[in-house]
Chains A and B, each alone.
Chain A
Amino acid sequence: DARVTQTPRHKVTEMGQEVTMRCQPILGHNTVFWYRQTMMQGLELLAYFRNRAPLDDSGMPKDRFSAEMPDATLATLKIQPSEPRDSAVYFCASGPPGLAGRTQYFGPGTRLTVL
């Protein structure tokens, strides 16, 4: 049963520290998304990649957030420096070629708390 995996599942850190979240998409999926979920805003798209190329990161605060796909099996989302308002659940999702606009599978999320 193919799944998107994310690490770490939980992260507690102090303000100002760097946070790196990792995602392994489902094998064969060529589109990877990063979403953030908070009680206030709900689920928001931060950025996405197709064939490892960044296509849209307009939802991401540029000054502190960065997203990369060093290879087809790994996507990373980094926050530096982290702030308390970054506390949220960060979900990675992947989609198959040609269908990613319609079919996305979510990972279990990284629950981030910034103190």
Chain B
Amino acid sequence: AQSVSQHNHHVILSEAASLELGCNYSYGGTVNLFWYVQYPGQHLQLLLKYFSGDPLVKGIKGFEAEFIKSKFSFNLRKPSVQWSDTAEYFCAVNAQNNDMRFGAGTRLTVKP
């Protein structure tokens, strides 16, 4: 089965700093890639997804992610974070069989 690695456990940034969260997966076939976000006290919700086409995908709230097939990576980026981006971010991989696997998550704290 596919697996997902998120290298950063906890990231602390000041407002307006740039963000990049790493995500690598292990699976040799075609995959669908997702980033989910869990704001404090809220449900997990989809941030963005990649199925095919342009490897640079844009999601909600100014987030984007780039799929680099040769590196098995799908890193999440945002040019300028806000205090309201404080949340836990999960990368997920679905190998087209509805078996969605998640990484361990990265907790982002943005200091005002």
User: Does B bind A?
Assistant: no
Q: Which residues of A contact B (CB under 8 A)?
A: none
